[in-house]
Amino acid sequence: MGIRIALAGNPNCGKTTLFNALTGSNQFVGNWPGVTVEYKEGKYKSNKEVTIVDLPGIYSLSPYTLEEVVSRNYLIDQKPEAIINVIDGTNLERNLYLTTQVVELGIPVVIAINMMDVVEKNGDKINTAKLSEEIGVPVVEISALKNRGLKEIVDCAIKAAREADPQSPKHRFAGSVEHAFAHIEELCLHDMTDENVQRWYAIKLFERDEKIQEKLGLSQDVIAHINKDIESCEKELDDDAESIITGERYNYIGTIINGCVKKAAKGMTTSDKIDQVVTNRWLALPIFAIVMYLVYYISVTTVGGWATDWANDGVFGDGWHLFAIGTSAYTEDADEYAGNQLIVDGYDAYVEENGKKPTGDFEYPVEDEETLEVTYETASLEDYKEAKSYMDSTEEPDPADYGIWIPGVPVFVESALDAAHCNDVVKSLILDGIVAGVGAVLGFVPQILILFIFLAFLEACGYMARVAFIMDRIFRKFGLSGKSFIPMLIGTGCGIPGIMASRTIESDRDRKMTIMTTTFIPCGAKLPFIAMVAGAIFGGASWVAPSAYFLGIGAIIISGIMLKKTKLFAGDPAPFVMELPAYHWPTLGNVLRSMWERGWSFIKKAGTIILLSTIVIWFLTFFGMVDGSIQMLEEDQIDVSFLATVGKAFAWLFAPLGFGNWQATVASVTGLVAKENIVGTLGIIYGASGDVYATMAAAFTAASGFAFLAFNLLCAPCFAAMGAIKREMNNTKWFWTAIGYQCGFAWIVALICYQVGKVFTGEGFTFGTIFGIAGICLIVYGLVRKDKYNAK
């Protein structure tokens, strides 16, 4: 028969790390509460008959939070064969509070003291034999991160499960409390055969736990009778029942700690010293801003930018030289060849235009590769002669002559299709549709992976937990809870788990507000279009990508303040308790695993939903009604395509935002399927006119480009995230309120970015600027107006 072993413990004590180590799973490990919202199961690697259950982290078995309800219900209803109570060895006192309750459940318990490596490093000593004796259950020292003691703890739990002889709790409460328990047991629990279970229920009834009263189906008479016993005890001990139990438990823990733990005398730890700076009242925010700026700068602009350039120009472009050997020599020769060709072409164009040869200097056009801007240069007849002689004597440089040349995917696919004598329509579908669309998305994989490495590192080392703490301090000033920031931290990977994490927020109003604003933070899927806008419209400026992150955070804070002042969301902020873990170097494996999980799902999406989307987008882009019949269009005809027709019908909506062209409109709409589609769609549409970045740079100004970025960052998320919003809201009206707010807010912010941005980018003050200023006034009014609901 199978054995189920539950892992129970405080948040952030290493349960999920232990679970992953025991089962070989890749469950997400986070440094903040709420990472595990529901329990999850996995088979023990060394014995498939053993199922390990990871429960949400809890501080007690009282039903105050969702995690406590989930964990408690599992333990009392599902009754696992054994419990491994995971304890953070660096903080025994607080962790043992849960232990005193777990051992009362009537289920065999073994204690795993985790993080023993840190305990030893700190010079502390724990007498585990004595601890085991005091609590009455086996105690094993482990380090889940370093794979130490894992076999021993599971063997111990299996043994306890097989023996099925639960420990009797050694802790006894004060006489009057025990007396009350006895009365309660006799009154309504005497049918239970297990004395331990009887005792646990008696304690909960003593604490006036309504959920347990309800579960046992107690009548009002019985409850009134129990209350009399409790009140008499409360009178005697001069405290309320719950505080009596808590106080007694901590007294008991105090005696255990005194007898079993020896703390090394020491001053401030390294973590404390770092925290003095990192969480400093004045320095915390600037440090956070610098850290995130660096993360995005390195991921998108420098290292990530170089890697993505290689992916876009090489793998999904013409090709690349292996190890870049020969690239510089080839580029030099190719530039020289192109320069001479321009002069010769300019001369020929002059002759064709004027019907005669130039007698002196002549002008020839030069198109900027990045902006498509055409400028005119002057060449003399001497220049022409030199250029002509060069062209006659030189062949166009072949990259293969300069090193080992690996053709890019489009080149390779095109030559394969040519070899197969493929029809032009199918060839266009594959090259202009699938390869251009999916390639545009996959080209950003290097940037995505680098960003995910940084985020995984910041999460695992403990910094992101500090960010939640810093944000709580700021949020609380505006009547918001820092608990709302946790889903946003999780949402940097993907908005859906972020939306899910809002379940841990007890206040229904705060929870709904968090769901509405979580997706403002740029998720992994939004990074490609952020990078695309930065690269194409802003010439790779380093401030663009970090600004998207700060715009997301700003939108969350502004929305939070504005919404909190409305009747729908008014109310006190939910309390937020979180422990700041000691800083530590994350293991390389954990960081890489986290990166790969997120990165792989991005690649998987590109190969499935994005690929299907590109087929549809290609059809709608390259087909249209011409002379009353559906025809395949030439590249210069796509302005009459089906997609253009649809885009033009909605483009007016975006005209005030500066991107009222059909291309940007349809990209924003297809982004609702998956945000990567924005890049895929623009890759197909602008790819049809030549170079994607160059065409895009020509289609947007700085102001309209940033407005495009702002709108797509803040508007409704992808359909999958919308589905999660609908499920979590569990109400159609609320769902549409959320989507409506996101789109409305995004529209106003984009309007401000464009209309006011125009003034600063030299486009001047126009009539539309007045509306931009009106948008600013509207937001400022929302921020500063009287808070009449919360004032009550």
Instruction: Give the residues lining the site for other proteins (CB under 8 A).
Output: 26-30, 35-38, 40, 417, 419-423, 426, 429-430, 490, 493-497, 499-501, 523-525, 597-598, 600-602, 604-605, 607-609, 611-612, 615, 673-674, 718-720, 723-724, 727
169, 103 Cβ separation under 8 angstroms: yes
- Rounded Cα–Cα distance for residues 126 and 139 (Å): 11
Q: Which is nearer to other proteins, 89 or 498 (CB)?
A: 498
Ramachandran angles phi, psi of 363, nearest 5°: -100, 145
**Least CB distance from residue 557 to other proteins, whole Å?**
23
Q: Which is nearer to other proteins, 37 or 349 (CB)?
A: 37
Q: Which is nearer to other proteins, 344 or 490 (CB)?
A: 490
- Rounded Cα–Cα distance for residues 682 and 643 (Å): 12
Q: Which is nearer to other proteins, 38 or 178 (CB)?
A: 38
**Least CB distance from residue 70 to other proteins, whole Å?**
11
- Rounded Cα–Cα distance for residues 481 and 564 (Å): 11
**Least CB distance from residue 499 to other proteins, whole Å?**
7
* Three-state DSSP class for residue 105: coil
* Three-state DSSP class for residue 664: helix
One-letter amino acid identity for 631? Q
Q: Which is nearer to other proteins, 92 or 521 (CB)?
A: 521
- Who contacts 660 (Cβ-Cβ below 8 Å, separation ≥6)? 651, 652, 653, 654
**Least CB distance from residue 556 to other proteins, whole Å?**
19
Q: What is the DSSP string of 24-55?
A: -------SSTTS--S-EEEEETTEEEEEEEEP
**Least CB distance from residue 608 to other proteins, whole Å?**
5
> For 166, which DSSP code?
P
**Least CB distance from residue 443 to other proteins, whole Å?**
18
- Rounded Cα–Cα distance for residues 483 and 504 (Å): 8
Q: Which is nearer to other proteins, 160 or 455 (CB)?
A: 455
**Least CB distance from residue 16 to other proteins, whole Å?**
8
**Least CB distance from residue 393 to other proteins, whole Å?**
39
**Least CB distance from residue 562 to other proteins, whole Å?**
27
**Least CB distance from residue 34 to other proteins, whole Å?**
9
Q: Can you read off the two tokens belonging to residue 789?
A: 């609901």
Q: Which is nearer to other proteins, 189 or 499 (CB)?
A: 499
Q: Which is nearer to other proteins, 499 or 716 (CB)?
A: 499
- Who contacts 318 (Cβ-Cβ below 8 Å, separation ≥6)? 399, 407, 408, 410, 411
> For 674, which DSSP code?
-
One-letter amino acid identity for 414? E
Q: Which is nearer to other proteins, 304 or 717 (CB)?
A: 717
Q: Is 175 buried (19+), middle (13-18) or exposed (0-12) by CB count in 10 A?
A: exposed
Q: Which is nearer to other proteins, 679 or 697 (CB)?
A: 679
CB burial string 369-382: b at 16+ within 10 A, e below: eeebeeeeeebeee
**Least CB distance from residue 326 to other proteins, whole Å?**
33
Q: Is 723 buried (19+), middle (13-18) or exposed (0-12) by CB count in 10 A?
A: middle
**Least CB distance from residue 14 to other proteins, whole Å?**
15
- Rounded Cα–Cα distance for residues 560 and 383 (Å): 65
Ramachandran angles phi, psi of 738, nearest 5°: -60, -50
Q: Which is nearer to other proteins, 410 or 573 (CB)?
A: 410
Q: Can you tell me which residue has the tokens 């004597």? A: 393
503, 534 Cβ separation under 8 angstroms: no
Q: Which is nearer to other proteins, 299 or 701 (CB)?
A: 299
* Three-state DSSP class for residue 161: helix
Q: Which is nearer to other proteins, 99 or 518 (CB)?
A: 518
- Rounded Cα–Cα distance for residues 571 and 790 (Å): 6
628, 618 Cβ separation under 8 angstroms: no
Strands 82-88 and 3-9: parallel
Angle between helices 611-622 and 676-687 (to 10 degrees): 30
**Least CB distance from residue 530 to other proteins, whole Å?**
15
